[in-house]
A and B are shown apart, each in its own frame.
Chain A
Amino acid sequence: MREKILMFIEKNSRIDLKELAVMLGVDEVMVANELEIMEQEGIICGYHTMIDWSKTSTEKVTALIEVRVTPQRGQGFDNVAERIYKYPEVQSVYLISGGFDLMVILEGKTLRQVSQFVSDKLSTLEPVLSTATHFILKKYKEHGTVLCTGESDERMLVTP
């Protein structure tokens, strides 16, 4: 049941609890309880809203930054990662396999702001060996949702 609840609210967290319970064929109180427990357990970490900022007048730039670091004795990558993720403008930090170590996703108001963060804050961290910054030019799909096209129902109105 948990998985079904999670799969549903991952796509639509604004669903009315009663409706969700009806659709899953269970009691409303049970759904409410499960949600509360999953919040407490940190399984549900928040209820965010997906926004396509490019359709607004607010300017935003997003960059993916590959970071190579020297792991530190006794702490591996965790300490560096923390020093990076504490910055509020940092959206995500992942430790990854492959040619570099950390993937940092950064959001800023302007290109300059992002570049400044990279040169002033990120590259100056002692364990950081190098960075490569990629600016996002267009978002096609985010969180499983296609952003660039409006899809319409192609079906005829009545069919057998």
Chain B
Amino acid sequence: MRNPLSDKVVEIKPSGIRKFFDIVSEMKDAISLGVGEPDFDTPWHIRDEGIYALERGKTFYTSNAGLMELRQEIAAYLKRRIQTEYDPKSEILITVGGSEAIDLALRAMINPGDEVLIPQPSYVSYLPCAVLADAVPVVIDLKEENQFRLTKAELLSHITPKSKILVLPFPNNPTGAIMEQRDLEEIAQVVIDHDLFVISDEIYAELSYKEEHVSIASLPGMKERTVLINGFSKAYAMTGWRLGYACAPKLIMEQMTKIHQFAIMCAPTNSQYAAVEALRNGDEDVAMMRESYNQRRRYLLHRFQEMGLQCFEPYGAFYVFPCIKEFGMTSEEFATRFLQEEKVAVVPGTAFGDCGEGFLRISYAYSLENLKVALGRLERFIEKLRNEKN
């Protein structure tokens, strides 16, 4: 029999998270600080709307781009939140999570050999999706001393004549880093000067704790160069509904919609109805969840300080990214031992890129009681490690 597989796919490394998941799932009664999704249930009024949509028989395909009603709500939302206007008819596409939007954007814009600049540590899917689209991924290692923000100098030093797209993953999973207006302005200038495009993954936009999230698409001259990606998973605690969206200039959007039309057809219909309700009446829920995450964020940072565990202050998403270099082991060794000895799952920073070595991703999408227990165990564990060293 011939080899049935594509070499390109076979060569892609499986996600580092997957590997860790396999270890964790064999562990009985482990507790976790390892999830990348909210601990809240989807607010009931949103779920109710999803149920109601099913009851009303909304069980058919929607148009490829998604319900017009939803696209209009998204346009209104973006105008309200990031002061940027998108045409619901030609510039907004409803996708199966932000995940699909990332894939579509890359596939619609890349020619073989084009370089895609990917700052890391970052979400696991940019790099494989770029490879699948025949791009050459160029990783930019972000640094703790810059609070894991992307600097102009870092960007400049990775640009070549083949550079075409910059992925901008802020607020960031796994570091919790954000980019503020002045940081974005510097990046935007480079993007314009070098005629690049930006895929801005703003799925955590609503979970910003310092000031209101700023989108690079809102800066002068940037809307026409940006594919903005957002979704309902994180802000509205709707991960399982699989619903996100992309906004882009018509030229790009037409091609993204073409792929979506053939590969997906349309995003889940009842999720789309629920999302309309989320955008219309969900602001209070989002504010409540944001406040709750922010409280836990402060609590976690305070506890790290008490333990003497080094960690920069993240202002976004629901992750902290403490540094464990003092213990002289790799992230994976640390995470594995922590799991085996204290039964707490955390994700090694290396799951999000090589430069995550020496760090852990700890999620605070957990109840306070849960966090307390897990942090108690972390404290005991690092004391043990410190004693071992002496």
Contacts and interface: CB of A to CB of B under 8 A. Distances in A.
B77 interface: no
A148 interface: no
A25 to B, nearest CB: 5
A8 B291 CA distance: 11
B338 interface: no
B17 interface: yes
Interface string A1-30: 000100010000000000100111100000
A156 interface: yes
Residue in A19, A24, A159 with the greatest tally of chain B CB atoms within 10 Å? A159
A136 B139 CA distance: 63
B298 A22 contact: yes
Nearest to B38: A155
A158 B35 contact: yes
Interface residues of A, number: 14
Given A153-B39, A159-B35, A23 B296 contact: yes
Interface in B12-49: 15, 17, 20-21, 24-25, 30, 32, 34-37, 39
B17 A159 contact: yes
B123 interface: yes
Residue in A23, A25, A156 with the greatest tally of chain B CB atoms within 10 Å? A23
Contacts of A153: 39
Contact of A157 (B30, B39, B123, B368): B30
Contacts of A8: 295
B302 A22 contact: yes
Contacts of B351: 160
Interface string B50-68: 0000000000000000000
B17 A160 contact: yes
B345 interface: yes
A158 B24 contact: yes
Contacts of A23: 295-296, 298-299, 368
Contacts of A4: 291
A84 B246 CA distance: 61
Contacts of A155: 35, 37, 39
B291 A157 contact: no
B129 interface: no
Contacts of B298: 22-25
A130 B73 CA distance: 51
A50 to B, nearest CB: 16
B374 to A, nearest CB: 12
Contacts of A158: 17, 20-21, 24, 32, 34-35, 345, 347
Interface of B: 15, 17, 20-21, 24-25, 30, 32, 34-37, 39, 123-125, 173, 291, 295-296, 298-299, 302, 345, 347, 351, 368
Interface of A: 4, 8, 19, 22-25, 153, 155-160
5 contacts: A8-B295, A23-B296, A158-B24, A160-B36, A160-B351
